[in-house]
Structure 1
Amino acid sequence: MARAALDWSVKNLAERAKVGEATIRRFERDRAEPIHSTAAAICSALEAAGVEFIAENGGGAGVRLRKQAKNSVGQSGP
Structure 2
Amino acid sequence: MSIENLSNRHPAVTTRQVKAARALLGWSQGDLSAHSGVSEPTIARLEAEDGPLGGRTETVMKIVHALTQAGIEFLSDNGGGPGVRQARPAASV
TM-score (normalizing by structure 2)? 0.71
Alignment partner for residue 60 of structure 2, among 39, 42, 65?
39
1:30 maps to which residue? 49
One-letter amino acid of the structure 1 residue matched with residue 37 of structure 2: K
One-letter amino acid of the structure 1 residue matched with residue 79 of structure 2: G
Alignment partner for residue 63 of structure 1, among 84, 88, 91?
84
C-alpha separation in 2, matches of 1:13 and 1:52: 16
Which consecutive aligned stretches of 4+ in structure 1 deviate over 3 angstroms post-superposition? none
Instruction: Give the number of the structure whose residues are more often helix, by fraction.
Output: 2
Percent identical: 40
1:71 is displaced (CA, Å) by 3.6
What are structure 1's unaligned runs of at least 5 residues? Answer: 73-78
1:70 is displaced (CA, Å) by 2.8
1:15 is displaced (CA, Å) by 1.1
| Residue 47 of structure 2 corresponds to residue 5 of structure 1 | no
2:36 maps to which residue? 17
1:76 maps to which residue? none
1:29 is displaced (CA, Å) by 1.3
Residue-by-residue CA offset, 1:17-51 (whole Å, 9 max, x unaligned): 10100111111111782111100000000000000
CA RMSD of superposed structures (Å)? 1.6
Paired residue total: 72
**Bigger relative contact order, structure 1 or 2, given CA contacts below 8 A and separation 6+?**
2
TM-score (normalizing by structure 1)? 0.84
